[in-house]
A and B are shown apart, each in its own frame.
Chain A
C-alpha cells in the first residue's frame, strides 16, 4: 500500500494531521492524558510532549503534570483534537490541587469498592424472594422501609448469618443500595 503523500494527510486516517497539536488521549483504563503529539506509528503508539493527566472526580478536576510520555498503542482508545477556542470543561467544574484530587479519587474508589462488595455479598441471597418483598412494599406504597420490615428481612428463612450481620451493621447503606439497583444486582 502506497504511503499517502503530504497532500493526502488530511484525508487519511493517519495521525499525521494531529502532529504538533494539543490532544486528549483516552486510555483503556479510563485515564485521560493531554499533551502535544510529536510522533506516532501504525499501531497508534504515540509520543506526547508536555503530557499531563486530567483527573476528574465529580465536579472537581486537576491536571497532574507528567512530562514526556511514550504511549503503547494497544492502550489507546481515542485521540481527540482539543479545540482551543472552546471551553475545555463545563463551567460548573472547579480546578483543585493535586492533593485534593488524590484524596477525592481515593474516597470515590473506596465508595465504589464498598458498593462492589455489597453486591457480591447479596449474591448469596435468594434474590427472587427479596425482589418480591420489595415489589410488595412498593405496591403497598411505602417509600422508605421502617424497622419492622427490615426485621422481617433479617428473620427471613434461607438467609445465612453473615448476611444478617451485614444487614444489621449497614442497614442504611444496604437499603439504599437495594432500592436503587434491584434489577442489576438480581441479573448478575
Chain B
C-alpha cells in the first residue's frame, strides 16, 4: 500500500504518465486507486502530432496495468519520508 498512499499524496500535482505503448500523457493527478489506476485532468499528450485522436481528450482514466512510468515533479518527492515509510512497511508495521 506504500505507493498507493504515496500517489494519494501527489493528487493535484502535475505528472507525466508514460504508458507501455510509449504514449506519454501529462496532466493533473485527479485520483488513484489500489490498482494504481490513475485519473488525469487537463491532459495533453506529449507527442501530440503522433496521436491526433487524443486531441479532444481532457480527462482520462488510465488502467494501472499499462503504466510504465509516472514522472513526478521533483518537489513532490520527500526522500526522507519515503525512506522511513519503506522501512516501516518492510518491518510489517
* Residues in chain A within 8 A of chain B (CB atoms): 1, 11-15, 18, 24, 26, 28, 30, 32, 42, 44, 54, 56, 73-74, 76-83, 86-90, 93
Q: Are B54 and A44 in contact (CB under 8 A)?
A: no
Binary contact track B16-40/A, C-beta < 8 Å → 1, others 0: 0001010101000011111101110
Extra 8 A-B pairs, beta carbons < 8 Å, given A80-B57, A88-B55? A24-B57, A74-B65, A76-B66, A77-B19, A78-B63, A82-B56, A83-B57, A86-B58
Binary contact track B48-88/A, C-beta < 8 Å → 1, others 0: 00001111111111110110000000000000000000000
Q: Which residues of B contact A26 (CB under 8 A)?
A: 23
Q: A13-B38, A32-B53, A44-B37 are in contact. Are A80 and B63 (CB under 8 A)?
A: no
Bound Cα distance from A89 to B48, whole angstroms:
11
Q: Are B57 and A81 in contact (CB under 8 A)?
A: yes
Bound Cα distance from A54 to B53, whole angstroms:
8
Bound Cα distance from A74 to B33, whole angstroms:
16
Q: A44-B37, A76-B63 are in contact. Are A93 and B58 (CB under 8 A)?
A: no
Q: Are A73 and B53 in contact (CB under 8 A)?
A: no
Q: Are A89 and B60 in contact (CB under 8 A)?
A: no
Chain B: number of interface residues, binned into ranges: 20 to 34
Bound Cα distance from A86 to B19, whole angstroms:
24
Q: Are A79 and B61 in contact (CB under 8 A)?
A: yes
- Interchain CB contact (< 8 A) of A82 among B19, B25, B57: B57
11 residue pairs from A and B, CB less than 8 Å apart: A13-B31, A26-B23, A56-B53, A77-B23, A78-B19, A78-B25, A78-B63, A80-B43, A81-B57, A86-B56, A89-B53
Q: A13-B38, A44-B37 are in contact. Are A81 and B59 (CB under 8 A)?
A: yes
* A1 nearest CB across to chain B (Å): 8
Q: A76-B63, A77-B63, A78-B60 are in contact. Are A13 and B39 (CB under 8 A)?
A: yes
Q: Which residues of A contact B63 (CB under 8 A)?
A: 44, 73, 76-78
- Interchain CB contact (< 8 A) of A13 among B32, B43, B53, B57: B32
Q: Are A78 and B66 in contact (CB under 8 A)?
A: yes
The chain B residue with its CB closest to the CB of A24 is B57
Q: Are A83 and B21 in contact (CB under 8 A)?
A: no
- Interchain CB contact (< 8 A) of B62 among A77, A82, A83, A89: A77
Q: Are B33 and A78 in contact (CB under 8 A)?
A: no
Q: Which residues of B contact A24 (CB under 8 A)?
A: 53-54, 56-57
